Amino acid sequence: MARMRKLFAALTRRGPHPVRRGDLAFAGLPGVVYTPAVGKNLPAVAFAHDWITSAQRYHGTLEHLASWGIVAAAPDTETGLAPSVLNLAYDLGTACDIVAGVRLGTGEISVHPAKLGVAGHGFGASAAVFAAAGMTVKPKAVFAAYPSVTRPAAEQPAAGLAVSGLILTTPGDAMTLRSNAVELARVWKTGTLRSTPKAKSGGLVEGRRLASVVGLPGADRGSQKIVRALLTGYLLYQLAGDKEYKDFADPGIDLPKAPVLDPFADDPAELQDKVVALLKS
């Protein structure tokens, strides 16, 4: 556990690579892309934003991934009050096609087409599930941070996914009408559910968000550090094949600040009690 704590702590900080920022609009898709300054055959992830926010609100997370050697692209679409989860999912697939199909930067950066993943936060997490199900060439991994209920429901495509997935929730999320993390984990046979008791489900968004007017939480630096570490470690193993981070994708190992939960516990309240007990132990 001491080794894992050290790895986790390192991943909460910026990685060793200088970072460059680009614009997906050059290929016809509104959005941003962050890359390491140089690198060939790199892993890449397409990241989807939460409801009533935008790709710009995840600048720090995208930059963080790039600093650890992972190309991170984020479509800046479906940002209105009534977004389409299917359209955002399609745009995630398009973002993957773009970064894998063209040389980035001034030509010195490339992505390996077999090292692609999709990820998202809230509404975008459910979009990532739809994207994985709809992509002709399946991604190697899906990261769903605090997924939220959508119409159509993401549980339907999740039930047929054979792609490795990591789902995050927080104590109490399972008891809200907005979260569908437990429901996703119950039908997604290759998905792992982890709780982050010291993180807030809405805290990954950076800066002030319009959704605060309807009671949704805003930025939280502690939450950002935890989620970025989990996301980076997971992708470094799943996409880049770095065995040093294998435990981040192991459903049998409790990570620092992110124990594994059983989605088939009797009820949401029992899930929450187990998390509290883990924190006190």
Q: For 200-226, what is each residue's pLDDT tens digit?
A: 999 999 986 554 444 555 789 999 999
pLDDT of residue 163: 97
Query: Is there a contact between 121 and 49 (Cβ–Cβ < 8 Å)?
Result: yes
pLDDT of residue 171: 87
Query: Is there a contact between 238 and 141 (Cβ–Cβ < 8 Å)?
Result: yes
Report in angstroms the alpha-carbon separations of 231 from 141, 152, 168. Answer: 11, 26, 10
pLDDT of residue 209: 52
Query: Is there a contact between 155 and 131 (Cβ–Cβ < 8 Å)?
Result: no
Cα separation, 187 vs 263, whole angstroms:
9
CA dihedral (205, 46, 253, 174) in degrees, to 10, reads: 50
User: For residue 218, which amino acid is it?
Assistant: G
pLDDT of residue 276: 45
pLDDT of residue 279: 44
Query: Is there a contact between 72 and 44 (Cβ–Cβ < 8 Å)?
Result: yes
Structural element, H or E, at residue 192: strand 191-195
pLDDT < 70 stretches in the chain: 174-177, 208-217, 266-281
pLDDT of residue 213: 47
**DSSP-based three-state secondary structure for 169:** strand
The pTM of this model reads 0.91
Cis peptide before 75 (omega within 30 of 0): no
pLDDT of residue 66: 98
Cα separation, 11 vs 9, whole angstroms:
5
Closest CA to 9 of 230, 259, 261: 230
The topology under which CATH files domain 2-280 is Rossmann fold (3.40.50)
